[in-house]
Structure 1
Amino acid sequence: MSRWAGRLLTIGMALGIGSTAFVPVPVPPADQAALGEWLFFDPILSRSRTISCASCHQPAFAFADTSAVSRGERGRLGKRNTPSAMNVRLQANFFWDGRATTLEEQALLPIANPLEMDLPLGQAVQRLNHSRLYRVSFERVFGEAPTQQNLARALAAFERTLETNQSPLDEWRLSDNDAAVSDAAKRGFALFEGKARCVQCHFGPDFNSAEFRNIGLYDGQALIDSGRAALTKKSVDVGKFKVGPLRNVALTAPYMHNGMFKTLGQVLDFYNDPSKVVPNALNRDPLLAKPLGLTKQEKQDLESFLLTLTDKRFLIRNPPATLSR
């Protein structure tokens, strides 16, 4: 059982029903991150007490989901794909449209969202205050009873611990171990920084940026999510979405804001020539105005490189996926 999943006690095996239930250890946590971990895995923050943050941000999949869009309270489908909750410490904005600019702000929005946990924040805080264990825990950690503010601080503190920096790529580039990655991955890295132009949007320690880009997934007809424009009401933002981190990307399928691509191979096919997939896209970024002209081998090399971004803690349990389209 993983460090994170240690907050879940599998009782279904004993009952023969294959379900799980949250059972906090009886000793109150000593710091904000530990308290946030309790809260992240506890369904107390959903209306029916059946959904937790971890229901959609699953540890085994780099704290992302395996569905195109996640199901919330009463089986309601969300509107966008669940992004990974890992490697968020350095991010400047959150959600696909950037509606939150701090982790604390981000942490509270899914709780109150009717399509997700559907619990008004006032009721969430009231529940925590009615729990002797949580009252003691918040008093120990914050010196006060649960509030919206310290609930957000605790959840954000836990999310800040979900950093990964021990991938094969890190061993190759930072520890100068030339054998850490394959020759195909090395060729893929050169393509990532060169011909494929990925580095123009995905760079830095987490391979992302603070920008919003329109990669051509909005045509105003079949594909109608206008992205950041729905928030800003600016025509220049039509079709733009957040450039997310690529660490552990091999674990977070399906891809894009709507989960339309099931494999990394499909993602690379799209970027190679977006007009073949969405021919009538509006305001596509100039970077993608022309096909990249990648060969089949080059796309395979790029995928090999992307697999090297998977942290070693996941490689133990989940060997790299086979190259597939």
Structure 2
Amino acid sequence: MIFILTGLLCAVIIIAGFNTSPQPGDPSGKAALGEKLFFDPLLSKDRSLSCSSCHIPQFGFADTIAFSKGIHHTPTKRNTPGITNLSGRPNYFWDGRAATLEDQALQPIINPDEMGLPIEEAVQRLNENESYRLYFQQVFNSPATGKNILQAIAAFERTLETANSPYDRYIAGDDNALSPPAIRGRLLFIGKANCNNCHSGEDFTADRFKNIGLYNGTSLKDAGRFEATKDSTHRGFFKVPGLRNVAVTAPYMHNGMFKTLKEVIAYYNEPNHIVQDGINRDLSLNKPLNLSNEEMNDLEAFLVALTDDRFKIAHH
């Protein structure tokens, strides 16, 4: 019971940090309504799961297991990614099959193995609920519709932007914001380790798709981007995730195969030692990085420093 109450308190504290109640930044109230929907199990077929069941606030809105469980306890096909800093991204999901946050919000709701609720049934439930009926009328001047349900959830997700990490303070001029290992790790990130070849920009993603060798057609069968485009050159390609808050979103990769950041770094350091038969792997990974143990520790320290302060309670 203490554990449950502590978890709920963490969620309340973290959500409070996003300030999604109607305010100057949300004059229409769409984000506040979307927040309510995000945490409401009413949007699952058996009313047992909400969006937040898999996108857990204190863990960067990711899950803590490799594959989340849907309403029938069926594992998801891929690892649940964190959903902070998604505003303005050109595509969503590991295979990029959704072009907008609204489309992204729809798919887990209607997926029979996830929340399993047809959108028409979601509309009916919300309009039969007096509280929601009044809320939608207030915000959209209309009853709930498939379109405005998704607009509200997407509006909430767009508020989940984070820019208050030790790294941000360091970039802003606070030389003491990063530890010496993290400072060394930053230089490795943009230098010897070549991480910014894929993880570039403000949110540390180039918004591209890469094949890092985690597809071999046998033990690693998920063909990634290919399943969305049917373009054979896309086999084994997955969306490059942003790295903000990465320290609290373990496990990692589309299949959750790495439990720690150290394991991820070890893979990039010497990919052939872990997956020897990856098909069509990016050529930039053909040579070992030759990072020492100390350098790998420094690189990890930098990645941890990308964590927004509101998630510190979960990380420690």
Matching of residue 106 in structure 1 with residue 104 in structure 2: yes
Matching of residue 225 in structure 1 with residue 259 in structure 2: no
Q: Shift of residue 319 of structure 1?
A: 4.6
Residues 203 and 242 from structure 1, CA distance in 2 versus in 1: closer, same or farther, beyond 3 angstroms? Answer: same
- Indicate the residue corresponding to 1:245 in structure 2: 242
Whole-angstrom CA distance in 2 between matches of 1:289 and 1:249: 25
Matching of residue 318 in structure 1 with residue 306 in structure 2: no
Q: Shift of residue 152 of structure 1?
A: 0.6
> Which structure 2 residue ranges, 5 or more long, are not aligned?
1-8, 17-26
- Indicate the residue corresponding to 1:78 in structure 2: 76
Q: Shift of residue 5 of structure 1?
A: 5.6
Alignment equivalent of 2:188, drawn from 174, 183, 191:
191
Amino acid aligned to 2:276: P
- Indicate the residue corresponding to 1:19 in structure 2: none
Amino acid aligned to 1:318: A
Q: Could you say what secondary structure the match of 1:74 adopts?
A: coil
Alignment equivalent of 1:202, drawn from 184, 199, 205:
199
Whole-angstrom CA distance in 2 between matches of 1:250 and 1:115: 28
Q: Shift of residue 166 of structure 1?
A: 0.3
Alignment equivalent of 2:302, drawn from 284, 305, 308:
305
1:4–1:37 CA contact under 8 A, matched in 2? no
Residues 243 and 286 from structure 1, CA distance in 2 versus in 1: closer, same or farther, beyond 3 angstroms? Answer: same
2:68–2:79 CA contact under 8 A, matched in 1? yes
- Indicate the residue corresponding to 1:121 in structure 2: 119
Whole-angstrom CA distance in 1 between matches of 2:315 and 2:194: 27
Q: Shift of residue 318 of structure 1?
A: 3.2
Alignment equivalent of 1:289, drawn from 286, 289, 301:
286
1:40–1:155 CA contact under 8 A, matched in 2? yes
- Indicate the residue corresponding to 1:36 in structure 2: 34
In the comparison of the two structures, how many residue pairs are matched? 296
Matching of residue 216 in structure 1 with residue 193 in structure 2: no
Q: Shift of residue 230 of structure 1?
A: 1.1
- Indicate the residue corresponding to 1:63 in structure 2: 61
Amino acid aligned to 1:204: G
Whole-angstrom CA distance in 1 between matches of 2:67 and 2:54: 9
Amino acid aligned to 1:144: S
> What TM-score, normalized to structure 2?
0.92
- Indicate the residue corresponding to 2:49 in structure 1: 51
- Indicate the residue corresponding to 1:130 in structure 2: 128
Whole-angstrom CA distance in 1 between matches of 2:262 and 2:139: 46
Task: Please list the CA deviations of residues 23-53 of structure 1 after superposition, one character each: whole Å capped at 9, or x if unmatched.
Answer: xxxxxx9600000000000000000001000
Q: Could you say what secondary structure the match of 2:290 adopts?
A: coil
Q: Could you say what secondary structure the match of 1:75 adopts?
A: coil
Identical columns (%): 53
Q: Shift of residue 158 of structure 1?
A: 0.1
List structure 1 segments (4+ residues) > 4 angstroms apart after TM superposition.
3-6
- Indicate the residue corresponding to 1:94 in structure 2: 92
Whole-angstrom CA distance in 1 between matches of 2:131 and 2:263: 47
Whole-angstrom CA distance in 2 between matches of 1:172 and 1:137: 42
Residues 123 and 248 from structure 1, CA distance in 2 versus in 1: closer, same or farther, beyond 3 angstroms? Answer: same
RMSD after superposition: 1.3
Q: Shift of residue 3 of structure 1?
A: 4.8
Task: Please list the CA deviations of residues 226-255 of structure 1 after superposition, one character each: whole Å capped at 9, or x if unmatched.
Answer: 000111111110000000110000000000
> What TM-score, normalized to structure 1?
0.89
Alignment equivalent of 1:255, drawn from 220, 241, 252:
252
2:59–2:248 CA contact under 8 A, matched in 1? yes
Q: Could you say what secondary structure the match of 2:132 adopts?
A: helix
Whole-angstrom CA distance in 1 between matches of 2:163 and 2:311: 12
